[in-house]
Structure 1
């Protein structure tokens, strides 16, 4: 479709644009693609802009899950949930630490879930429930199990040539709830069955000539196919934002770089900033967070849209925070390996550089990251210690590549030893502290009760654990060698601070007034989740919901 229009000669005060559309979207992750979907549903013309040579953003690199309480799939399955329970849980976990996490914004998120899901389904996108995945604090008021949904694995050939430029385009038909069972594929009956199903699913795609893909790549494939293939929405790659175009205090377009020259694009209904966080910008991280971090998000997330919006008066919040977690240190030329299930399986323990435990190893990744920051500012290093039984029974997602394993050993990121004393010496922890920590932990493992940090008390802790391990599925003694230690650093899935927005994703000034024509969602905006992470997919879900809400609001504008 062509979005170009001629400016009437009787409107000399309005700038002349090289091209114009109803909606201009900066960024191609979940927030950007959902905004575009909402715009198409409203009959609006829309342009997608991507600053890098690859589209999809951190969404396409992710697990692809969305935490959507009281969603239509739950109701169809008879899974009990309600608006009131969702809001009660969000209040219990999030509170109101910022304007972005106000009661009104939390309600807007919950109230926008049906519209997002049902709109996507009308366009042929098929979702599946992660029925066994708990909220991250399921024991709190309103907590549930099974609120997460994702795009079902699908044939990526439907994207045509757009697949070639999708970031993280890996043809693996995995689902979110495959991961926790595949981790123990050869140690538990449930894991074996899931492993077999996964293999047959993959082989079925090969036999039928399909290039099946799942998780985050499936999310981007489904929405990309709907937009760029089915509805001819233009997507311009390598077209970074330079500035906003403002007329009479309203944003009316953008200036971008394309093919080596500056191009102006008009936006009759609005500009959506959905260009990700600033995790890959060391100077901004140092300025706002005091750490450089080890991000696992899109390397193209440099924070430019946030800086541009601030220049035009947008208020910022939560800039000191991120979607923190623990990562195995990257080898040169590689990326940090964000670890989740591996640290929750029994026969494992995490210690700091002195050799002491400092947190519940099975807790949510954001909580673990905050504990690292509280301990020593995230300086580290920390160590994930594995008994031989962990190494033999469970899959380590970060140790699948033999070349990377060799490099980790050579660089001291992976350290092996026959005895715990030898291991402690090799990784440089205090021998007395380390020995005391292991002995104390082993006592907890035998009794089944972690008296220090409560590991295994929550249903979330036990989700990634081994149900055959008694008496606590998260706890196993560290006593059988050879022992293996991995150097762990403070990691993240992206930053969560950005532009303050209202219930319709409109950008706000510090006095609460609206910047007309400017919208923000995803990690360009300050998160509705505040400083925490209520459940699986708490990044993608609000990005998508507020993207559609923004498009609806733009459509209502005269």
Structure 2
């Protein structure tokens, strides 16, 4: 079947932020577009997210007095932060397109107040842009544009297979209702955080968490895009990449920061990190210690741990007392007894606490330079507590379809599969071992969604895709 005989120019699989953006971009390029979504509503995990956008060189930054940030600076930071163990061409494309795509999104009605600009992740340049209304507001703003562009949306329909023509080009989709033909396809089905089998296969670090692990995204995140792509010869990228957030495992509350009044020790009984380190790196640092560490504090600290906007579910006095009574938290009358129950070398643990207490007496942290809200609190009043902490909350998954800088899906022969593009969490070629910062997963959904839609439209119309 020729492209002229297709039912649609472009079919987008998935109606999260990436898919909706791709559909709008393809329609704006003159294509007829169908969006197919497995869920009963649009948004996917994007609707549940904060909708933050990691980007450099924006009008919001300039309004905040940050005039010198640039795509070049963002690229250098991104690559250095990940020790250049990510694809430079993909990262470069994201950095170059992030600001113009951000401005496109603001023109679509999404508001990013200057007051909500913040330093995201590790660094000192504010690149985290937080929208009013979070990810849901972004999804609603995008969804509102479908009807005016004549974009067809089908919900509660899962794509079962991709269709290829005799030349090997992707030319349609197969659903339970039958085939739909097209000129090109954008796969934007999200990640696989809700699929335990794929977690075990592609994200073993997350699988190690066992029954501690849980996923914060949509239950529809089943990894459909990986299956669809592999069936037509796509390569995967980003094995064992993703973001794990820390938890004491008391409940499924998303409270991932640690209070500044505790210390973390590894199985050898030594501190290994500034306990207030960004969530973007803390999970990885714990993984380097074997995946399980202990938060240590004393009775005086526990009794003073009151609820705050940041600490409401775990690190508060009555919750900690209850969990100790239940035996979930270890409580002991001496440091030596605490070490015995945690199977930590008592001399190492006592030495670590003695050194920390000496620093507290001197008003600082000479080892990891932790800054505290008030005076640092020594650990010296019995009973003493040890709380097991693990990186176990799956925020997003990083294994996905391998793409080039135009988000064309690459086959196992490293050549583009004609007519197939990917965007959002389905892309596996962007992330390294460490998460760049808040907005570093949602931002690419918009950036690469727009690029995928434009390039899918160009392919469907027979135009050459220009970088």
Query: Shorter-chain-normalised TM-score: which range?
Result: 0.7 to 0.9
> Cα 1:322–1:220, aligned 2, differ >3 Å: closer, same or farther?
same
> Cα 1:416–1:215, aligned 2, differ >3 Å: closer, same or farther?
farther
Does 2:13 match 1:26? yes
Secondary structure in 2 matching 1:309: helix
Contact 1:31–1:547 (Cα < 8 Å) also in 2: yes
> Cα 1:224–1:328, aligned 2, differ >3 Å: closer, same or farther?
farther
Secondary structure in 2 matching 1:105: helix
Contact 1:330–1:337 (Cα < 8 Å) also in 2: no
Structure 1 residue aligned with 2:423, among 495, 498, 521? Answer: 521
Contact 1:150–1:219 (Cα < 8 Å) also in 2: no
> Cα 1:43–1:408, aligned 2, differ >3 Å: closer, same or farther?
farther
Structure 1 residue aligned with 2:191, among 272, 277, 291? Answer: 277
Deviation per residue, 1:327-380 (Å, 9 max, x gap): 23154xxx363502xx1x42122234565433332223242222232222x3x3
Does 2:232 match 1:312? yes
Count of aligned residue pairs for this structure pair: 447
Distance across 2 between alignment mates of 1:534 and 1:217: 22
Corresponding residue number in structure 2 for 1:296: 216
Superposition RMSD on alpha carbons, in Å?
3.5
Contact 1:446–1:477 (Cα < 8 Å) also in 2: yes
Corresponding residue number in structure 2 for 1:263: 178
Offset at residue 318 of structure 1 (A): 1.5
Corresponding residue number in structure 1 for 2:338: 424
Question: Structure 1: which 5+ runs fail to align?
Answer: 1-10, 139-143, 153-213, 457-461
Does 2:125 match 1:145? yes
Does 2:411 match 1:509? yes
Secondary structure in 2 matching 1:87: helix
> Cα 1:84–1:388, aligned 2, differ >3 Å: closer, same or farther?
same
Offset at residue 306 of structure 1 (A): 0.9
> Cα 1:556–1:364, aligned 2, differ >3 Å: closer, same or farther?
same
> Cα 1:94–1:421, aligned 2, differ >3 Å: closer, same or farther?
closer
Distance across 2 between alignment mates of 1:52 and 1:411: 39
> Cα 1:250–1:129, aligned 2, differ >3 Å: closer, same or farther?
farther
Secondary structure in 1 matching 2:417: strand
Deviation per residue, 1:360-401 (Å, 9 max, x gap): 32223242222232222x3x3644757237612644143499
Distance across 1 between alignment mates of 2:413 and 2:273: 39
Does 2:102 match 1:117? yes
Question: Structure 2: which 5+ runs fail to align?
Answer: 462-467
Deviation per residue, 1:14-73 (Å, 9 max, x gap): 8998xx333222223322222123234334333333323454222222222111111232
Contact 1:129–1:147 (Cα < 8 Å) also in 2: no
Distance across 2 between alignment mates of 1:446 and 1:363: 22
> Cα 1:507–1:437, aligned 2, differ >3 Å: closer, same or farther?
same
TM-score by length of 2: 0.82
Contact 2:324–2:331 (Cα < 8 Å) also in 1: no
Structure 1 residue aligned with 2:390, among 489, 498, 501? Answer: 489
Distance across 1 between alignment mates of 2:276 and 2:150: 45
Corresponding residue number in structure 2 for 1:253: 172
Corresponding residue number in structure 1 for 2:256: 339
Secondary structure in 1 matching 2:193: coil
Secondary structure in 1 matching 2:217: coil
Describe how 1:272-421 pairs up with structure 2 within 5 A: 272-291=186-205, 292=207, 293=209, 294=213, 295-329=215-249, 331=251, 335=252, 337-340=254-257, 343=258, 345-352=259-266, 355-376=269-290, 378=291, 380=292, 382-383=294-295, 385=297, 387-388=301-302, 391-392=305-306, 394=308, 395-399=310-314, 412-413=327-328, 415=329, 421=335
Contact 1:130–1:146 (Cα < 8 Å) also in 2: no
Describe how 1:54-65 pairs up with structure 2 within 5 A: 54-65=41-52
